[in-house]
Amino acid sequence: MVHVHERLRILLEGDVITKEASEIAAEAVDRLGIHAPQPQIDMLVTHLATALTRMERGEALEAPPEEMFKEVEHSSHIKDANEEISWVEGRFGQSLPEEEQKFLKIHYVSIFQEMGGE
């Protein structure tokens, strides 16, 4: 299995993500602790790093389908997800577009569900 830091190194060396995005994504994963589920962490770290890179490079992304997001918005873990996204925004130094926030909420809620049950 490829460790998170190895994953980020490959993405960085392939110029898929920027150095700042890599650093923030690594820190964001560290904040979740050692009990966070690996498959979901891999998805989060890849998505977060590419999302921050899109912002740095001025690229836009369309929002996820509404039905996908609706379920997440009503999750008991949405507050925790929002707190983590606020941390990312603070660390990155700017707000994330609503479209990117929605994707990240999906990933974070999935992780918190695995860690804490629903």
Partner 1 sequence: MKVVIGGQVDKKEVEALVKEHGEGVTTSVKSDVEAAMAIKSGQADIYVGACATGGGGALAMATAILGKDQCETVSMPGRKPDESKIKQAVAQGKKAYGFTADHKREAISLIMNALLNN
Binding residues (CB under 8 A) for partner 1: these are: 1-2, 7, 10-11, 13-17, 39, 42-43, 46-47, 49-51, 54, 61-65, 68, 100, 103, 106-107
Query: One-letter amino acid identity for 60?
Result: A
- The nearest distance, CB 95 to partner 1, in angstroms, is 17
Contact assessment for residue 29 and residue 41, using Cβ atoms and an 8 Å cutoff = yes
For the bound state, the minimum distance from the C-beta of residue 10 to partner 1, rounded and expressed in Å, comes to: 5
Collapsed DSSP state (helix, strand, coil) of residue 20: helix
Task: Closer to partner 1 by CB, 42 or 89: give it.
Answer: 42
Nearer to partner 1, 33 or 65 (CB): 65
- Comparing CB distances to partner 1, the nearer of 16 and 36 is 16
43 or 115: CB nearest partner 1: 43
* C-beta atoms surrounding 18 within 10 Å: 19
What are 17's two structure tokens? 């993500």
Please name the residues in contact with 89: beta carbons below 8 A apart, sequence gap of 6 or more: 95, 96
Q: How far is the CB of 63 from partner 1 (least distance, A)?
A: 7
What is the DSSP code (8-state) at residue 118?
-
Shortest distance, position 80 Cβ to partner 1, whole Å: 18
What is the residue type of 74?
Answer: H
